[in-house]
Amino acid sequence: MTSDQSITRRTMLETLGVLGVVAGTGLPLSPPGQAAAQTPPLGGQETVQDGLKRLFGGRSLKDGSGVVTLEIPLIVANGAVVPVAVDVASPMTSANYVKVVYLVADKNRIPVITRVTLAPESGQASVAICVRLGETGAVRAIVEQSDGTLLQVTREVKVTVGGCGG
């Protein structure tokens, strides 16, 4: 006897719809506790020092200017949409790769503004995103490598009101 186990179009669409709703609401698709145990939350309103301490504990941040490139305009007319690009010179092999790239805006109410997790399969360590800056201040790119090393580069960005640089 053979059983008819074919999936109908209706069943497939219902399943995809449910998965879309789950993904849209932010409910975890992994078993409970698994993802939360691996990555700390980005955080809420806190000082930069509190956010860095929560994410990295007592680990020191080394100067990454020879390895990490942070591309961000020095003056922006609209702090709501600021393009940022981070490139890291890394071989991206299973023995040596960039695990996480963090962006931190020192003057934002929520300073840790993004976290991008990478894997050796990414091929290259490059991230481009638009972020919101609340006011003029330092923007940091912090890179966590597979061996736990933390590299940091910082640029001062001036946010002007209505494009007036004065």
Domain parsing of the chain, residue ranges: 7-38, 42-159
CATH architecture of the domain 42-159 equals Sandwich (2.60)
Angle of CA points 166, 113, 76, to nearest 5° = 20
What is the dihedral sign for C-alpha 74, 78, 133, 107? positive
pTM above 0.85, yes or no: no
Q: Which of left, alpha, beta for 31 (phi over 0: left; psi -120 to 50: alpha)? A: beta
Walking along the chain (166 residues) 10 residues at a time, the average pLDDT comes out as 67 74 58 52 81 92 96 94 96 95 95 94 93 95 97 96 60
